[in-house]
Amino acid sequence: MDSNNNPSFSSLNLEFNPGSRIIDIFPDQISFNLANKAKNESSRSQQLDNITIQSSMSPHTAIVVSNASVKNDIATSVSHIHIHDQPLVKTVHHTAFVTSIEAELFTIRCGINQACNKANISKVIVITDSIHVAKKIFNMKSHPYQIHMSVILNELRQFFTKCQENHIEFWECSS
């Protein structure tokens, strides 16, 4: 979409300038793990189970499971955040008249925000059934969603700047 036709796009936003983009500055701290459609679902489920078990033993890892759906123009966004020996945090939001992409971005945004603001977290694992939406966060051509993207990118920039070892992984999980 042309930026001149979309009032929500700001080409002055640091997150959207080539060379300043988070994907350019911190490429080794961001990863996407896509489901292999050729493998069976039980193999993927076992892999996600293993990630969850291993991550649960680390006080420096936050697991964010996000999901959103839209039915009858009402969006329900749910995120679960688990960190080592802390209680599971469940956040639920409802809103009306938003797209499913906006609802998913908002859910991922809330989960990342909560995880990155916890003390001593160096690794965030986001498990989502909308990996295509998570990829939009780093795609600078998705200007209609810039408000969500810029908030997420700013949060991640702060998280990565704290320590060079900090990183985020996005894992695809079919619904």
Amino acid making up residue 125: I
* Contacts with 111 (C-beta within 8 Å, 6 or more apart), sequence order: 64, 65, 66, 79, 80, 81, 91, 126
Does residue 110 register a pLDDT over 70?
Answer: yes
Residues of the chain with pLDDT > 90: what percent?
54
d(CA 116, CA 145): 21
d(CA 174, CA 69): 14
Tally of helices (H runs) and strands (E runs) in the chain: 5, 6
| Predicted confidence (pLDDT) per residue in 139-161, tens digit | 777 567 788 888 898 899 999 99
| Predicted confidence (pLDDT) per residue in 30-60, tens digit | 999 887 766 667 777 888 888 888 888 899 9
Spell out the CATH class of 30-172.
Answer: alpha beta
d(CA 166, CA 62): 11
Q: Provide the residue ranges of all domains of the chain, joining segments of one domain with +.
A: 30-172
